[in-house]
Amino acid sequence: MPIYEYSCKKCESKFELLRHFSDAAEVTCPKCGGVEVEKVLSSFSCGGSSGGYGAMGCAPSVSS
């Protein structure tokens, strides 16, 4: 079940929701109740161990 990040256009707060793919499309802001929210592109990181590529295909970090 993915976690989505949203930004409210009414109060400008940012929040995350854990949602099923089958959940209703409408999302409301938990702070102000506004329905004008937009999905924000999330950044992610992955940690590697033993120098191999992670499960998501992330390259291991390189130290200088």
Domain spans in the chain, listed from the N-terminal domain onward: 3-40
pLDDT single digits (tens) 12-40: 999 998 888 787 778 999 999 999 999 99
Distance CA 3, CA 57 (A): 19
User: How far is 39 from 2, CA to CA, in rounded Å?
Assistant: 13
Query: What is the pLDDT at residue 24?
Result: 76
Average pLDDT (40-53) is: 64
CA distance 40 to 24: 18
The residue that leads in pLDDT, 16 or 59, is 16
